[in-house]
Amino acid sequence: MINLYPTHIESLSIHRVGNKSKSEGVFFSENPYKLNDEILGLLKEYFFKPFRDKEENYLRFDDDVDLEFNELYKIAAEVFTNPNSIHENSKKIATHLFEQSNHPHIKPGEVYVAYLQDVVLDNEKVDAIGIFKSELKHDFLQFEDAGNDINILIQQGININKLDKGCLIMNKNQSDGYKILSVDSNRYDTKYWLENFLNVDALTDENFFTKKYLKFCKDFAKDVVLPAEDKKEEVMFMNRAVNHFAKNDEFEETNFLNEVMENPDLIPEFKHYKVEKGPKYSIEDVSNFPIANKAVSDARKKMKNVINLDTNVQIKMDFINPESADKFVEKGWDEERQMYYYLVYFNKEEKN
């Protein structure tokens, strides 16, 4: 879990990178930008807001041969060893980005390289390198007094409410390629930023496996449990699955299936589904891993515990304890009406 509210921008360098295929070149600032309190507040919101809003899918630097051949990994290691080298290394970062900017669709823009302190990562303060790029320019209006009139001036600038591209390289797990977050609002060429510039791969840690396994369970519930049982059981299966993750520190697949799968006939179906679909979620060979509580909480927030009926009625199965559903909700068949029904037990109606 990352917290950027206490983070301080210690140093900022700004350069401009053009499109190499159009011979636009690179412009390097000779000195770091002189920060003041007013601009710091705006930049922190501009740089950090996308990472606060984004789901935390961590990445790490990668290379087919060795990490030492990953350009940004080498630069990051040098900066973390000697933070005073950040400005000179920011020019190397801009040059590396320029070398990858050789597709006609890649837009020129400003590149901001920041040295960050007090990034709170999993309750630990770490330093980080922030690399951000603004690409899209927007028209905006300025006004000036002209005697007894007001003139309108049309100017261009960036929208500080929307960062185009950015990444945070945390000084954590250096030997494994660091711990990285990335955002890209303009996905016209995702290879350019993630593959060519950053050269990153998914960080397969407990957060990764917890998210992927719960997503796998969600799709299993939709594709297998729902057709075999009904909507109520689909919802309850996911409730049991998330509750199992919430009350355990370690995941063990056999224990999970024995506790969560009420219909034993679905256990072979689950194993077959995993063989068939597991590679899509990168869990085909995974049956044990530490559980990340943050990922479980995020999954619970996204759960849709609603049964939508074709009679324009919704039943919300808002149960912390899945056994409550069997206790208070019954499904049946009405022969006279030739329709299914749900019988719901309650003591009193809640007042809004």
pLDDT in tens, 320-338: 565 666 677 777 888 888 8
Boundary residue ending a domain (177, 203, 229): 203
Statement to judge: residues 237 and 224 lie in one domain? yes
Match 């261009």 to its residue by tokens: 156
Residue 26 · residue 94 · CB < 8 Å = yes
pLDDT at residue 148, rounded to an integer: 87
pLDDT at residue 139, rounded to an integer: 86
Statement to judge: residues 198 and 240 lie in one domain? no
| 351 located within any domain | no
Q: Give CA–CA dist 114/14, Å, rounded.
A: 9
pTM over 0.85: no
Residues (pLDDT < 70) of the chain are: 65, 187-190, 317-326, 352
Statement to judge: residues 170 and 79 lie in one domain? yes
The residue segments making up the domain with residue 193 are 2-203
Residue 286 · residue 275 · CB < 8 Å = no
Statement to judge: residues 220 and 199 lie in one domain? no
Statement to judge: residues 227 and 170 lie in one domain? no
Q: What is the pLDDT of residues 166-215, one digit of tens each?
A: 999 999 999 889 999 999 987 666 688 998 999 998 888 888 999 999 99
324 backbone dihedrals φ, ψ, rounded to 5°: -65, -30
Statement to judge: residues 232 and 164 lie in one domain? no
| 248 located within any domain | yes
Boundary residue ending a domain (159, 186, 203): 203
176 backbone dihedrals φ, ψ, rounded to 5°: -100, 5
Encoded amino acid at 60, one letter: R
| Percent of the chain as helix, strand, coil, to the nearest 5 | 40, 30, 30
| 349 located within any domain | no
| 113 located within any domain | yes
Encoded amino acid at 338, one letter: Q
% of the chain with per-residue pLDDT over 90: 52
| 110 located within any domain | yes
Q: How far apart are the first and last CA of the chain?
A: 34
Boundary residue ending a domain (203, 224, 249): 203
Neighbours of 213 (CB within 10 A): 26
Residue among 300, 298, 301, 329 nearest 316 (CA): 329
pLDDT at residue 320, rounded to an integer: 58
C-alpha angle 83-86-89 in degrees, rounded to nearest 5: 130
pLDDT at residue 316, rounded to an integer: 75
Orientation of helix 231-246 relative to helix 253-260, angle to 10° = 140
| 34 located within any domain | yes
pLDDT at residue 203, rounded to an integer: 85
pLDDT at residue 97, rounded to an integer: 95
Statement to judge: residues 37 and 181 lie in one domain? yes
Statement to judge: residues 164 and 228 lie in one domain? no
Statement to judge: residues 229 and 152 lie in one domain? no
Statement to judge: residues 249 and 141 lie in one domain? no
Statement to judge: residues 280 and 193 lie in one domain? no
Statement to judge: residues 192 and 227 lie in one domain? no
pLDDT at residue 318, rounded to an integer: 65
333 backbone dihedrals φ, ψ, rounded to 5°: -130, 125
Structural domain total, the chain: 2
Q: Give CA–CA dist 36/27, Å, rounded.
A: 23
- CB burial string 164-187: b at 16+ within 10 A, e below: bbbbbbbbbebeebbbbbbbbebe
Match 């007042």 to its residue by tokens: 351
| 49 located within any domain | yes
| 101 located within any domain | yes
